[in-house]
Structure 1
Amino acid sequence: MSGRPGYWDPLPAVRASVGTTLPWKETDTVLAPAETYLMGRWDERNWRNVPGPFYGAETDTCEMGPEVAPRHVMCDETGQEFVFRQPRRPAEVNRVLFAAWNDPCGQYGTDGDQWWTTQSVRAWWQERARLREWAEHFATASSSSHHFQYGLADLLSYLDGDLQAHLRGYLFWLEEGRPPTGSETLPDL
């Protein structure tokens, strides 16, 4: 989503996901009610998660998330998963939910909207260089590591591109409780 900043609320798609069949390799997966596998704790979230409702906390280290949701989920150097891009359409929500469903620890969460504030989003934005430095360091230090076969280029591109527009729309969402219309001024980061 380029151009005009905005925000799309993915939580209705989470609620609608129950019973969705997701084809994967030789088998299909039917998503269970989200509360049965989305049990991440905010205070245990990975600092690399971008602001938004989805986040990874102390996930397992099987690294399945980046395989099933490569445009949204990455692993850190220990193999724990984090959400580097919030989903913006139902199919993307289903991919992130599939990553969460595959985490036997149940450590993905969707309650970020309850915790993020305009101040904490702005603080995260001001510290985004930390995420870039981490990504660049581990890309070179672990160039042969499977932790980075998915998502690194996407993460770096997103940090330099659409993330700012997304976060401005998210700030509006947090302040107003609704997406912005085309004529409304969005908050600055």
Structure 2
Amino acid sequence: MTYWDPIPTVRALVGQPHPLWRGDRVSRDWSAPAPDGWEQRDWRSVPGPFYAADSDNCLTGRQCAPDHVMYDDGYGSEFVYRQPRTPAEVHALTCAAECEPFGAYGGDGDAHWTPELVRDWWRDRARVREWATGAGWGPWATAPSDWMNDAACGARAYVAHIDGDLGAYLRGYLFRLAEGRAARPGESLPEL
């Protein structure tokens, strides 16, 4: 899988009308660090440029970016479970970041992730998967609450991502971290 760099798309949005809104402009460069910093990122955030750190519990992220944002089961804090791979996905994720009251999203993950840290996260993915399958999401799926049902769907999507294409994405991301560019067709990708 070829890694696609979302940062130029994020930076091009600053000060422009957001593609998903009517007239409102993007207020900040979401490629910058999260206000609470990289060190406070949620441990479940997948490796890549975007993450959330000490977010609110207003449960707004999945309204904008259900294919990228997940909630903590206890407090409703947000984290990024799938990195964007297209401009439309960047638009969805920046919508989630703009709607989060604390501005708790950051996009400077590339400055912090190393191949070793990515491999460590991948080796520990069973912990993430166990959280997503065993965090009590079952009752949420049948609760009389749309947001609880949606959060349970998100947990299932996260597990499918871990079991599906996340490994290939991370191999492309490892190449990007090591070489400073996306792999060209035919170049071999590092192993996880």
TM-score if structure 2 supplies the norm length?
A: 0.88
Give the SS at the match of 2:24: strand
Moved over 2 A (4+): 20-24, 27-30, 35-40, 140-148
2:48 is paired with a residue of what secondary structure? coil
Q: Is the 8 A contact 1:38 1:100 kept in 2?
A: no
- In 2, the alpha carbon distance for the partners of 1:86 and 1:40 equals 20
C-alpha root-mean-square deviation of aligned residues, in Å? 1.9
Q: How does 1:33-52 map to 2 (within 5 A)?
A: 33-34=28-29, 39-52=35-48
Match of residue 152, structure 1, among 155, 167, 179? 155
Structure 1: which amino acid aligns with 2:115? T
How far, CA to CA, are the matches of 1:89 and 1:39 in structure 2? 25
For residues 13-38 of structure 1, give each alpha carbon's deviation from its aligned partner in whole angstroms, at most 9, with x where no partner exists: 111112133445xx653212326995
Shift of 1:148: 5.2
Separation in 1 of the partners of 2:80 and 2:150?
A: 16
Number of residue-to-residue matches in the alignment: 183
Deviation at 1:156, TM superposition (A): 1.2
Return the match for 1:12 from 5, 8, 12: 8
The answer (yes or no) to whether the contact 1:73–1:83 under 8 Å persists in 2 is yes
Does the CA-based 8 Å contact 2:132-2:156 persist in structure 1? Answer: no
Relative distance call for 1:168 and 1:117 in structure 2 (3 A) is same
Paired residue for 2:78? 81
Aligned-partner Cα distance in 1 for 2:160–2:85:
17
CA 1:37 to 1:53, structure 2 compared with 1: closer, same or farther past 3 Å?
closer
Equivalent-residue separation in structure 2 for 1:182 and 1:21 (angstroms)? 33
From 138, 141, 160, the equivalent of 1:140 is 138
Give 1:70's aligned amino acid: P
Written as runs of structure 1 = structure 2, the 5 A alignment for 1:1-189 is 5-18=1-14, 19-23=16-20, 29-34=24-29, 39-77=35-73, 78-138=75-135, 139-140=137-138, 142-143=140-141, 144=143, 146-147=147-148, 149-150=150-151, 151-189=154-192
Q: Distance in 2 between matches of 1:94 and 1:177?
A: 24
Shift of 1:103: 1.1
Query: Cα gap change, 1:55/1:69 in structure 2, threshold over 3 Å: closer, same or farther?
Result: same
Q: TM-score, normalised by structure 1?
A: 0.90
How far apart, in 2, do the equivalents of 1:183 and 1:39 lie? 39
Deviations, residues 87-111 of structure 1 (Å, cap 9, x unaligned): 0011111111111111111110001
- Percentage of identical aligned residues: 46
